[in-house]
Amino acid sequence: DIQMTQSPSSLSASVGDRITITCRASQGINNWLAWYQQKPDKAPKSLIYAASSLQSGVPPRFSGSGFGTDFTLTISSLQPEDFATYYCQQYNTHPPTFGGGTRVEIQ
């Protein structure tokens, strides 16, 4: 199975900050990479697919980039509702696998 490694595992930031989360795949996955946001006791919410395509309804402050093994999720100006845990997921190779998550906390 492809291993997905996210960094950092957690970060503290303030409203208005620009933050970047990194996701690395153990082998090349082309651009078949998704990002999800999850708040406590809620289902994940889809944010980005195909590495950089913003899902409908997701604010443009979210952006994704990358190809092959290295990917990033950027939030350009952190808003109060963005404090959550973020997961990357590869779907290039079966089975689909997720990163361990990055918890974004209020500083």
Partner 1 sequence: EVQLVQSGGGLIQPGGSLRLSCAASGFSVSHNYMSWVRQAPGKGLQWVSVIYSGGTTHYADSVKGRFTISRDISKNMFFLQMNGLRAEDSAVYFCARDYPSSPGFFDPWGQGTLVTVSS
Binding site for partner 1 (CB under 8 A): 32, 34, 36, 42-46, 49-50, 53, 55, 87, 89, 91-92, 94-101
Minimum distance, C-beta of residue 38 to partner 1, in the bound complex (Å): 8
Tell me which residue has tokens 């100006």. 77
Minimum distance, C-beta of residue 54 to partner 1, in the bound complex (Å): 12
Q: In this structure, are residues 36 and 97 in contact, taking their beta carbons and an 8 Å threshold?
A: no
Q: Which is nearer to partner 1, 1 or 15 (CB)?
A: 1
Minimum distance, C-beta of residue 16 to partner 1, in the bound complex (Å): 28
